[in-house]
Amino acid sequence: MAHYVALIREHADGSYSVSFPDIPGVVTAGETIEEAEEEAAELLAFAAEDPDGAIIFNPPRTIDELNQDPAFVAASKDAIVALIAYSPDDHATE
């Protein structure tokens, strides 16, 4: 099972948004941090099933690899960094 690093940000209204540095354009949100993490896991599963293949799933980088990326370092400032489990075999389409 792979784990994608997610960046979780709290907004002024108390809600949370989630983005994935290794999967550009894939974002979600939740009213609580727990809901945001659940939505993130569901979004990964949904995005993997996209029949158009419009979403690019780059291989997940480790936190050490990401910390060498200046764009990630800048994006992760003031964000909660979390690991979201993803198993591509669980979501394979026929």
pLDDT tens string 58-70: 889 999 999 999 9
Between 6-20, 38-52, 75-89, the lowest mean confidence (pLDDT) is in 38-52
| Section 41-66 average pLDDT | 83
Domains of the chain: 2-87 (3.30.160.250)
Instruction: Put residue 78 in one of left, alpha, beta given phi > 0 → left and psi -120 to 50 → alpha.
Output: left
Other beta carbons within 10 Å of 9: 16
Between 4-8, 38-42, 73-77, 87-91, the lowest mean confidence (pLDDT) is in 87-91
